[in-house]
Amino acid sequence: MHGKSRKNVAVAIRISGLSNNVHEFQFTAEPSELSLTDQFRENISISTIVDKSPHQIYLKADIKTVGHFQCDRCLEEFREPVDVGCKICYVYNEKDGGAFPPDELQIISPDTVSLDLTEDIRQLITLSIPLKLLCAEDCKGLCPRCGANWNRESCACDNEEVDQRWQGLQGLLHK
């Protein structure tokens, strides 16, 4: 996607005519500009440092926003800061990027005018969402019988786990 022109480019750095040196760029993007889900309602702040040399462009980006998620245990909505970073080395020739890991290396054409970071940023934010979403590490969840949120209230339900294989013997305990 880099170096190609797109109609809705939210975050792009023009490298054509950029001097060989270190440059800083700041961006603010709306979640819709990055095609993010409705879990993201607040603007995304992107700080980049670009170190351009004759054979490569080294980019370091820090991305900050806030996600709105639903807890997997208690079903309450909560806000969680998202703070991710990436490092990408753009080279014009694969041999110029030998010291960089393959996931940080991208080959671009020498006639590339700008680097479109929109998709990379969208993917970084999306991949930063944990698989298990918890409002707090010690979230107590919901009562499986009455649905009470144990973080806010207790309930009178008997929530002792009973192994169904022993259910027939349960009556012997109360004699």
The pLDDT value recorded for residue 7 is 46
Q: Give me the pLDDT at residue 58, please.
A: 92
Positive or negative torsion for Cα 128, 135, 35, 121:
negative
What mean pLDDT, rounded, does the chain reach?
86
Instruction: Show the tokens assigned to 66.
Output: 């806030």
The confidence score (pLDDT) of residue 2 equals 43
Structure tokens at 148: 């009470």
| pLDDT at residue 92 in the model | 86
Residues of the chain with pLDDT under 70: 1-9, 94-98, 159-163, 170-171, 173-175
User: Does pTM surpass 0.95?
Assistant: no
Taking alpha carbons only, the member of 52, 54, 43 closest to residue 88 is: 52
How many angstroms separate the CA atoms of 2 and 86, rounded?
A: 15
Question: 27-35 long-range contacts, Cβ below 8 Å, gap at least 24?
Answer: 29/118, 29/121, 31/65, 33/8, 33/118, 34/10, 34/118, 34/121, 34/122, 34/125, 35/122
pLDDT given at position 96: 65
